[in-house]
């Protein structure tokens, strides 16, 4: 009978053999193990957003692409901000006026794919300081000293002009139409009721109306019967909606803010008597949380409830 | 002074709503605990007051007032701040509140009226502010940001400070009851102390608002003393010394009150303004109101200085700038980066930087690195500038 020492010696002798076998197996290429197609990025769709020429300005060289891995090479110091906001890819193109020999580009177009429209809107909200507007093309964005930024579906477009001659309105229109209608629309906007004249639509990334716990809000301001009101929507998951509803209730209790529970259209709504906001409406449903600040009446409340139920 | 006297009673009247709330869930909110006299004006302000850059809503104004804040500092280029004040105005007892704004336009930061502006420009700027704020008058209007970059010429800035067109407009506006007092503010970086001293000695100004914090400009205390001796009020700003996030060390809750108490521990200071964007800010900052600066507070500030002393470009200082052969606006560049990173005011920072004449792009090709060692506080100037340029332009 072989003793334990014999077994140990046999196992020890086998170790180099096992090692060689593992090494040989590791050298075989198995395409199922590494799917380069899924890890890489299909750049073509975004390249098509950049015309060879627009409004007399010709593209200089190929469109450059950046992913999460190398975004810092282009937006040094700001890459983390974009990545944490949902960034997927950046495509950048440079343009100069046809027939000129400018040493540098006169127009730089950056298109960021932020994954979701709401995330792209968040970038515009941040960078416009909350003062985005509806541009001539109908897109939401803002003009800065030397350019235009706007959101189109999940794309955040940032155009910087280095010459006053660049016709930014026309260029905006061309890029906007190139991206086209297929870009992820704002599904959350479908929850906003048609109440009257729309004054503006905003995305508030954090601290809505000074409430620390209320972030990522879409607000649309309307003018109805000569009065101004704001409808807000929180576009979150069921869990997020539940947590936010609870946070509101805690806030009401801690701040001694009274509210009244009302049943309307078989839905429970709250009429909040707020010393700082005046009276307002909070409508927490299973899968959405919305409300009305400023002016409201039964018809307006019904329209908001009706819209939320219809989307459900 | 009863704090709720500042609001019209209708705001706080509670309706007999059906859902009574349990008293046991109520939490005590920090309130203003001290009011101080604003020099010869005789007005009394809350020691901690409302800075309205990034103000989120009219309701935030009312919350601040309900906590006892009675002084608000605003400007046409602080987003929608003046409009929100206007929206809140129907619920405010106007004569109980002190409002300060700036000779400025709302279009693009920084748009403070510069030398060469006419009397009518100053009058229009203030009248537009009054219209936005739905009020007949402001208590203070400031010649703002004296000594800011692009205005390196001290003599030119002195002329802006004492501009006849501006002073004539002020006379007319005062006679018309549209403004009561004149102020001047400065966060440097160029000649801050000299320019403020000029204002103090001119006899035209009732209030000065310098950047003043525990990482202070060395000559500023002498300016404050002279102003105080002449009965000129002093309200401090930029009191958090860069407002770096101390929470990374688990000490965040202590830092801000300590920094505010340090500023308020100077008897020359009537009060300070600080940006308040949400209820947490209100709770945190007001916890310092009326409180004494303690040894524990000093230790907190020492920790902050140890952690961020080599990152924070001292507001009001520009001692390193002469060392740069390219004339890069070092202090302003780093201040705009502070607005971007630490204050969350991205657009304002980007626009301001875009308007600088001498940006830090030159630092990427600079071979001399002559700014190395030029900062008296040991900041690695060229590395910070390259980082700032990247953030403020989105490119390298």
Give me the DSSP letters along B223-276. Answer: HHHHHHHTT-EEEEB-TTTT---GGGGT-HHHHHHHHHHHHHTSTT--EEEEE-
Residues 179-238 of A with CB under 8 A from B: 204, 207-212
Closest partner residue to A276 (CB to CB) among B62, B79, B394 is B62
Alpha helices in chain B (DSSP H): 9-12, 58-66, 81-88, 119-133, 154-161, 164-175, 192-202, 220-229, 252-264, 279-286, 295-308, 330-341, 346-354, 381-393
Which percentage of chain B shows pLDDT scores above 90?
Answer: 49
Mean pLDDT for the stretch of residues B13-37 = 63
Q: Which of A219, A230, A276, A281 to mutate to test the interface with B (most CBs of B within 10 A)?
A: A276
Measured CA to CA in angstroms, residue B171 lies from B117, B165, B218, B239, B337 at distances of: 16, 10, 34, 32, 38
> Is the bond leading into B97 cis (omega within 30 degrees of zero)?
no
Within 10 Å of residue B358's Cβ, how many Cβ atoms?
18
Within 10 Å of residue B23's Cβ, how many Cβ atoms?
8
Q: What number is the ipTM of this complex?
A: 0.76
| Record: contact A131-B347, CB cut-off 8 A | yes
**Interval A144-183: pLDDT, tens:** 767 888 988 889 999 988 888 889 889 999 999 998 876 6
Measured CA to CA in angstroms, residue B22 lies from A278, B18, B27 at distances of: 21, 13, 11
Q: Assign residue A311 a region (left: φ > 0; alpha: ψ between -120 and 50; beta: otherwise).
A: alpha
Closest partner residue to A131 (CB to CB) among B15, B20, B79 is B79
Distance CA A283, CA A231 (A): 11
Q: Is B359's Cβ below 8 Å from some Cβ in A?
A: no
Q: What is the largest CA-CA distance in chain B?
A: 74
pLDDT at B83 > cutoff 80: yes
Q: Tell me the pLDDT band of B23, cut-offs 50, 70 and 90.
A: very low
Mean pLDDT for the stretch of residues B374-392 = 83
Q: Which residues of B131-156 are buried (b: 16+ CB within 10 A; e: fewer)?
A: ebbbbebbbbbbbbbbbbbebbeeee
**Interval A231-279: pLDDT, tens:** 999 977 889 999 999 999 999 998 889 999 999 888 899 999 999 999 9
> Is the bond leading into A38 cis (omega within 30 degrees of zero)?
no
Chain B residues whose CB is inside 8 A of the A142 CB are 347
Q: Are A241 and A286 in contact (CB under 8 A)?
A: yes
Residues 213-272 of B with CB under 8 A from A: none
* Closest residue by Cα to residue A231 from A140, A305, A130: A305
**Length reported for chain A:** 312
Q: How far is B198 from chain A, CA to nearest CA, in Å?
A: 33
Q: Which residues of A133-152 are buried (b: 16+ CB within 10 A; e: fewer)?
A: eebebebbbbbbebbbbbbb
Distance CA A119, CA B365 (A): 36
Which neighbouring-strand residues pair with A200?
Answer: A221
**Interval B131-169: pLDDT, tens:** 999 999 999 999 988 887 555 677 888 899 999 999 999
Q: Which residues contact B336 (CB under 8 A, 6 or more apart)?
A: B349, B352, B353, B356, B388, B392
Q: How far is B62 from chain A, CA to nearest CA, in Å?
A: 6
Q: Is A256's Cβ below 8 Å from some Cβ in B?
A: yes
pLDDT of residue A95: 93
Q: Is B347's Cβ below 8 Å from some Cβ in A?
A: yes
* Closest residue by Cα to residue A212 from B281, B286, B51, B255: B281
| Record: contact B14-A258, CB cut-off 8 A | yes
Max mean pLDDT among A36-40, A74-78, B187-191, B267-271 falls in B267-271
Closest partner residue to B12 (CB to CB) among A252, A253, A275 is A275
Residue A131 DSSP class? -
- Going B44 to B47 to B48 to B53, the CA torsion angle's sign is positive
Measured CA to CA in angstroms, residue A263 lies from A132, A243, A271, B370 at distances of: 36, 22, 10, 72
Closest partner residue to A76 (CB to CB) among B279, B350, B396 is B396
Q: Tell me the pLDDT band of A40, cut-offs 50, 70 and 90.
A: very low
Distance CA B277, CA B78 (A): 12
Measured between CA atoms, the residue of chain B closest to residue A252 is B21
Alpha-carbon B4 to chain mean position: 25
Q: Is B390's Cβ below 8 Å from some Cβ in A?
A: yes
Q: Is B174's Cβ below 8 Å from some Cβ in A?
A: no
A vs B: CB pairs below 8 A: 112
Measured between CA atoms, the residue of chain A closest to residue B110 is A145
Closest partner residue to A252 (CB to CB) among B12, B21, B56 is B21
Q: Is B80's Cβ below 8 Å from some Cβ in A?
A: yes
* Closest residue by Cα to residue B211 from B317, B79, B115: B317
pLDDT of residue B30: 93
Q: Is B10's Cβ below 8 Å from some Cβ in A?
A: no
Residues 122-151 of A with CB under 8 A from B: 126-131, 142, 144-146
Q: Is B37's Cβ below 8 Å from some Cβ in A?
A: no
Q: How far is A253 from chain B, CA to nearest CA, in Å?
A: 6
Strands A140-144, A147-152: pairing is: antiparallel
Q: Are A59 and A94 in contact (CB under 8 A)?
A: yes
pLDDT at A11 > cutoff 60: yes
Which neighbouring-strand residues pair with B181?
Answer: B140
pLDDT at A100 > cutoff 90: no
pLDDT of residue B360: 85
Phi, psi of B133 (to 5 degrees): -90, 0
Q: How many CA atoms lie within 13 A of B50 on its CB side?
A: 36
Q: How far apart are the first and last CA of chain B?
A: 54
Q: Which residues contact A130 (CB under 8 A, 6 or more apart)?
A: A202, A204, B79, B80
Q: Is A164's Cβ below 8 Å from some Cβ in B?
A: no
| Record: contact A275-B19, CB cut-off 8 A | no
């Amino acid at each position: 009978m072989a003793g334990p020492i014999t077994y140990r010696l046999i196992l020890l002798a086998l170790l180099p053999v096992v090692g060689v076998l593992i090494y040989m197996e590791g050298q075989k290429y198995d395409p199922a193990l590494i799917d380069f197609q899924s890890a890489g990025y299909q750049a073509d769709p975004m390249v098509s957003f950049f015309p060879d020429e627009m409004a007399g300005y010709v593209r200089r060289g190929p469109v450059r692409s950046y992913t999460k891995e190398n975004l810092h090479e282009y937006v040094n110091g700001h890459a983390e901000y974009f990545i944490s906001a949902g960034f997927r890819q950046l495509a950048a193109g440079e343009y100069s006026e046809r027939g000129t020999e400018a040493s540098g580009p006169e127009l730089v177009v950056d298109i960021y794919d932020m994954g979701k429209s709401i995330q792209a809107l968040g970038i515009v909200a941040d960078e416009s300081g909350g003062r985005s507007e509806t541009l001539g093309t109908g897109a939401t964005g803002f003009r800065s000293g030397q350019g235009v930024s706007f959101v189109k579906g999940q794309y955040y477009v940032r155009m910087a002009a280095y010459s006053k001659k660049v016709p930014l309105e026309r260029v905006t229109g061309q890029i906007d139409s190139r991206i086209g209608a297929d870009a992820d629309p704002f599904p959350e906007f479908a929850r906003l009721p048609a109440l009257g004249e729309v004054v503006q639509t905003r995305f508030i990334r954090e601290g809505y109306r000074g409430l620390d716990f209320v972030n990522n809000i879409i607000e649309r301001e309307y003018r109805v019967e000569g009065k101004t009101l704001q409808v807000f929507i929180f576009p979150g998951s069921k869990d997020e909606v539940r947590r936010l509803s609870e946070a509101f209730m805690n806030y009401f209790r801690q701040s001694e803010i009274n509210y009244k529970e009302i049943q309307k259209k078989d839905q429970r709504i709250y009429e909040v008597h707020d010393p700082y906001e005046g009276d307002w409406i909070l409508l927490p449903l299973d899968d959405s949380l919305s409300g009305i600040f400023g002016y409201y009446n039964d018809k307006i409340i019904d329209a908001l409830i009706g819209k939320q139920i219809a989307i459900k | 002074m009863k704090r709720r006297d500042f609001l019209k009673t209708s705001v706080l009247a509670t309706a007999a709503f059906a859902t009574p709330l349990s008293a046991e869930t109520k939490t005590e909110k920090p309130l203003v605990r001290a009011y101080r006299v604003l020099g010869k004006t005789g007005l009394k302000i809350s020691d901690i007051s409302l800075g309205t850059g990034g103000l989120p809503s009219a309701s935030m104004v009312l919350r601040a007032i309900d906590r006892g804040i009675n002084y608000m500092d605003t400007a046409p280029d602080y987003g929608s701040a003046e409009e929100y004040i206007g929206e809140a105005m129907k619920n405010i007892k106007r004569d109980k509140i002190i409002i300060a704004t700036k000779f400025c336009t709302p279009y693009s930061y920084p748009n403070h009226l510069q030398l060469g502006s006419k009397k009518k420009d100053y009058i229009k700027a203030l009248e537009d502010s009054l219209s936005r704020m739905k009020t007949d008058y402001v208590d203070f209007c400031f010649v703002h940001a004296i000594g800011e970059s692009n205005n390196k010429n001290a003599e030119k800035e002195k002329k802006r400070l004492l501009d006849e067109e501006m002073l004539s407009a002020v006379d007319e506006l005062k006679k018309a009851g549209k403004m009561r007092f004149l102020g001047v503010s400065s966060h440097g970086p160029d000649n801050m102390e000299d320019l403020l001293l000029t204002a103090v000695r001119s006899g035209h100004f009732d209030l000065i608002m310098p950047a003043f914090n525990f990482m202070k400009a060395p000559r500023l205390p002498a300016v404050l003393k002279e102003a105080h001796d002449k009965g000129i009020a002093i309200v401090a700003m930029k009191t958090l010394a860069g407002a770096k996030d101390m929470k990374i060390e688990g000490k965040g809750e202590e830092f801000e009150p300590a920094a505010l108490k340090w500023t308020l521990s100077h008897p020359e200071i009537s009060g300070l303004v600080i940006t308040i964007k949400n209820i947490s800010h209100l709770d945190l900052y007001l916890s310092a109101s009326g409180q004494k600066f303690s040894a524990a507070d000093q230790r907190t500030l020492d920790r902050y200085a140890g952690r961020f002393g080599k990152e924070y470009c001292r507001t009001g200082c520009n001692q390193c700038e002469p060392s740069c052969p390219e004339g890069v606006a070092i202090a302003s560049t780093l201040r705009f980066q502070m607005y971007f990173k630490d204050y969350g005011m991205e657009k304002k920072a980007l626009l301001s930087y875009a308007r600088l004449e001498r940006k830090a792009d030159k630092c990427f090709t600079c071979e001399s690195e002559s700014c190395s060692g030029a900062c008296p506080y040991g900041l690695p100037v060229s590395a910070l500038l390259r980082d700032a340029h990247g953030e403020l332009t989105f490119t390298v």
